[in-house]
Amino acid sequence: MSRTLKELKPGDKAVVKSITGEGAVKRRLLDMGVTKGAEVFVRKVAPLGDPIEVNIRGYELTFRKSEAENIIIE
C-alpha cells in the first residue's frame, strides 16, 4: 500500500517515491523540485488540511491537498 504526502503530520519526514497525475499538475510539481528521491519535511498543515507547508531541498513550498495526493512517499 502506498502512502501520499497528504497523510503526513507536521514534523514528519519522508522521501518522494514517485509522482502520479498528468498534465499541468504533474508539471507544476516537477517545476517546484518535487522529484523522486527528494526528502520532504512537513512544517505545518492547516486546520482543515489545506494547504500543507513543506520543506524540500531547502525551499519552503505550499501544496493543496489535491496536489499532495499525487506525491507518493516511502
Q: What is the pLDDT of residues 10-62, one digit of tens each?
A: 999 999 999 998 888 888 888 888 889 999 999 999 988 789 999 998 899 99
Q: Domain containing 50: what range?
A: 3-73
Which distant-in-sequence residues (6+ apart) come within 8 Å of 7 by Cβ?
none
The per-residue b/e assignment along 37-47, b for 16 or more CB within 10 angstroms, e otherwise, is eeebebeebee
Look at residue 38 in the predicted model and tell me its pLDDT. Answer: 93
Domain count, the chain: 1
Q: Helices (DSSP H) in 1-74: which residue ranges? A: 23-31, 65-68
pLDDT at position 73 is 93
Domain containing residue 54: CATH number: 2.30.30.90
Q: What is the pLDDT of residue 1?
A: 65
